[in-house]
Structure 1
Amino acid sequence: MSSVDVLTVGQGPGLVVLPGATRRARHYAALAAALSSSYTVHVVERRGRGRSPAQGSDYGLDREVADTIEVLSETGSRQVFGHSYGGLVALHVALRTDLDRVIAYEPAVSVDSGMPFDWLPRYEELLAAGRPARAMVHFLHSLDFMPGGPLVVAAVWAMQRLTAEGRATREVLPTVVPEMRVAREMDSDGGRYAGITAPALLLGGGRSPAYIQEVLPLLVETIPHAKLVRTPEFDHNAPDLGAPAAVADLIRA
């Protein structure tokens, strides 16, 4: 049994899916269903979520990579798809084990301080003060994923208290802190990714923030066997919310 919980559907060669920050395995159910006729899809419930272990005091990228390699080994899978923070993990899995293919949708890779992290201390303060709605808006607004302001905070506050999905999101907000610390620690000139030997498919959307879009060409130039597909109408949440079936088509192509 792997250390983390895994949602499995489908038939065919194995594909391990790594969710992004604040995302749960169930958020990729539509993506997994769309892929299920071509792959046996194993969606990892990453640490700090559901029945998987807590992140713990020793949490770091090594732990995420080890969890993923364990799932790959137990399922016989040889392909990994990662979204956002899960994409960062997927690329580092590809650096440490032999894969047939690695696929990353807008991985949370910071090259030459291109990804903003100055919001993180205030985010931690707001969580510690018991203000999860303000923390969530501060996080997403700082990363250009949503507007800010008191009306938005009020809407998020209501969502976090009145809806099951909102309450579930509130529960995983603390996991953002150690994950974003990892992303910040991994900031580099990007040269490490030249060590990926597996074929790599990098995916992105034209409606995502500029700092996300800018890193993709750098990665495709660095990774030896990489291809970039950018879809103008996609945003950062295409795999889990906006267009999972269309993303599945790109993975299958």
Structure 2
Amino acid sequence: MITVTSADGTDVRALDAGRGPAVLVLGPGLDDGSAWRKVGERLAPRFRVVRLHRRRYRLDLGGPPCTIAQEVEDVLAVATAIGGPVLVVGHSSGAVVALEAMAASPSAFAGAVLYEPPSPAASSPWGEPIERAQAALAAGRPGKALEIFVRDIVRLSAGQARLIGLFVAVHPRMRALVPGQIEDALAIHRLGDRLDAYAMIETPTVLLGGDRSPAHLGDRLDVLARTMPNTVRVVLHGQGHSAHVKAPADVVDVVAALAVKVLR
């Protein structure tokens, strides 16, 4: 574990394993810091793997919701503590934070792997479903709030969303993380169109997706590929949005291939 201080004085925590060139992992929504454990364990024999526990999902912090700008400050604080440009790996909303960090401080990053960021690079008509999810939270129904998020924002099927909502409803720790997930979606929605900023990112970047993921995630990757000047599009066949759990070796291959090119 490493702990550093962010620009606003908040302590930032990250799991630190392995030795060698540094890979900084920014996990997805609902991540208590463990989501990318399988990938991290496979990378650690060759690389130093630092998995950030995003403050939005730190139950010990409490307080008001954080902004993406604050999350970016956390990322940059950890990158500075590691020393030297790092390879950043971002997944889902964590990949949006990675994009914003690269736009804010390009010299901090030698390369990036962005796994299906729900970036505002494409239209994000999320306002109304976010309001319904917030209303469900206010009514004490976090399972229903996540069902709305998964069905109407992630765009999984109604049946899948219902099952996920039922699972969360009986899982205390997951219930506690749901408000952070809804805040995460709202923060991304408020970013608006950031294509002009992303067009300035020259960091070598792999845009990673699965051919079984919701179609809008692939569409967003296509927009980023047309916008960012130094990208490669990689598709994981037979995988969706959770290849870090279901096919970690495939994800490791993608990360390691870029790491050996850009890290010294």
Give TM-score, length-normalised by structure 1. 0.89
Q: Would you say the 8 A contact 1:87–1:105 is kept in 2? A: yes
Deviation at 1:199, TM superposition (A): 0.9
Q: Would you say the 8 A contact 2:198–2:227 is kept in 1? A: yes
Match among 111, 130, 135 for residue 145 of structure 2: 135
Match among 88, 101, 118 for residue 93 of structure 1: 101
Deviation at 1:154, TM superposition (A): 7.0
Structure 1 window deviating more from structure 2 (166-175 vs 119-128): it is 166-175
CA distance in 2, matches of 1:18, 1:218: 21
Mapping 1:1-253, distance limit 5 Å: 1-2=3-4, 3-50=11-58, 53-54=61-62, 56-57=64-65, 59-76=66-83, 78-97=86-105, 98=107, 99-114=109-124, 116-148=126-158, 153=162, 156-157=165-166, 160-161=169-170, 166-188=171-193, 190-239=195-244, 241-253=245-257
Q: Would you say the 8 A contact 1:55–1:175 is kept in 2? A: no
CA distance in 1, matches of 2:99, 2:44: 23
**1:95 partner letter:** A
Q: Would you say the 8 A contact 1:85–1:107 is kept in 2? A: yes
Deviation at 1:117, TM superposition (A): 4.3
CA distance in 2, matches of 1:154, 1:225: 39
CA-to-aligned-CA distance 1:185-237 (integer Å, 9 cap, x gap)? 22316222111121111100111111111011221121111111012311012
Deviation at 1:60, TM superposition (A): 1.1
Deviation at 1:114, TM superposition (A): 4.4
Deviation at 1:145, TM superposition (A): 5.0
CA distance in 2, matches of 1:83, 1:55: 25
CA-to-aligned-CA distance 1:139-168 (integer Å, 9 cap, x gap)? 11113554336x97477435542xxxx322
Q: What secondary structure does 1:15 align onto? A: strand
* Structure 1 residues 20 and 93: CA distance shift in structure 2, 3 A: same
Q: What secondary structure does 1:136 align onto? A: helix
Q: Would you say the 8 A contact 1:106–1:202 is kept in 2? A: yes
Structure 1 window deviating more from structure 2 (63-72 vs 227-236): it is 227-236
Q: What secondary structure does 1:4 align onto? A: strand
Q: Would you say the 8 A contact 1:208–1:235 is kept in 2? A: yes
* Structure 1 residues 123 and 73: CA distance shift in structure 2, 3 A: same
Deviation at 1:51, TM superposition (A): 6.5
**Aligned Cα root-mean-square deviation (Å):** 2.2
Q: Would you say the 8 A contact 1:140–1:146 is kept in 2? A: yes
CA distance in 2, matches of 1:73, 1:17: 14
Structure 1 window deviating more from structure 2 (79-88 vs 173-182): it is 173-182
Structure 2, gaps ≥5 residues long:
5-10, 258-264
Structure 1 window deviating more from structure 2 (48-57 vs 60-69): it is 48-57
* Structure 1 residues 125 and 30: CA distance shift in structure 2, 3 A: same
